[in-house]
Amino acid sequence: MTQLLLASQSSGRAAMLRAAGLDFETTAAHVDEEALTASLLAAGQTPRNIADALAEAKAVKISSRLPGVTVIGADSTLALDDGAMLTKPESPEDAAGHLRRMAGARHRLFSAAVAARDGAPVWRAIGEAKLWMRPLSEAFIADYVAREWDSIRWTVGCYEIEGAGVTLFDRVEGDPWTIIGMPMLPLLAWLRATGLAPS
């Protein structure tokens, strides 16, 4: 049985752990993100705190069933500067609407990771990136969504920064791993310190 489990169905997150050469398995967290997000928003929680709470819920739920296994949960939230929080698009039309709202403005992307053992959090980190999306024409949005829908449908911001997302931005501050879905640098530092990654 593995010592390290990623409680995530995110292909981007698994790819980053694989690229780091880690020995891990993955499983779905099966946390009702929509319900938890709605209740946290209703309680006035910020997108940053919501990412942290969702990451913890995923890690704690799975780790409570697997004694002694270190479980990593993760979550990303996207905050427009007007305070609105965007979630994954439900349709190509939804994605076009998100892009219209982000175009010509800055948004922040928070990616939280929480490690849990035996049902309790033992480590956490949150990364933040700031992204300035350029103004987009309707023709560009329609073409981009038609071309990229199959990959962007799984992403919180309707872009893969390491893919065609590069065509959307004037400026980005923050590391690419946080944008893809986890604060990898502090996570790897902790995994090395705990002997779960080669130091």
Give the shortest CB-199-to-ligand GTP separation in angstroms: 26
Listed as own residue / partner, the contacts of 124-127 with beta carbons closer than 8 Å and 24 or more positions apart are 124/52, 124/55, 124/56, 125/183, 125/186, 125/187, 125/190, 126/48, 126/51, 126/52, 126/183, 127/174, 127/175, 127/177, 127/178, 127/182, 127/183, 127/186
Give the shortest CB-163-to-ligand GTP separation in angstroms: 7
DSSP notation for 120-153: EEEEEEEEEEEEEEPP--HHHHHHHHHHHHHHHT
Give the shortest CB-25-to-ligand GTP separation in angstroms: 14
Is 75 part of the annotated catalytic residue set?
yes
> Which of 32, 52, 75, 170 is labelled catalytic?
75
Write out the residues near ligand GTP by the rule CB under 6 A: 8-10, 12-13, 29, 33, 74-76, 88, 154-157, 159-162, 165, 179-181
Give the shortest CB-107-to-ligand GTP separation in angstroms: 11
Euclidean distance between the first and final Cα of the chain, in Å?
22
Measured from the CB atom, is 170 or 198 closer to ligand GTP?
170
Phi, psi angles (nearest 5°) of residue 167: -80, -5
List active site positions.
Answer: 75
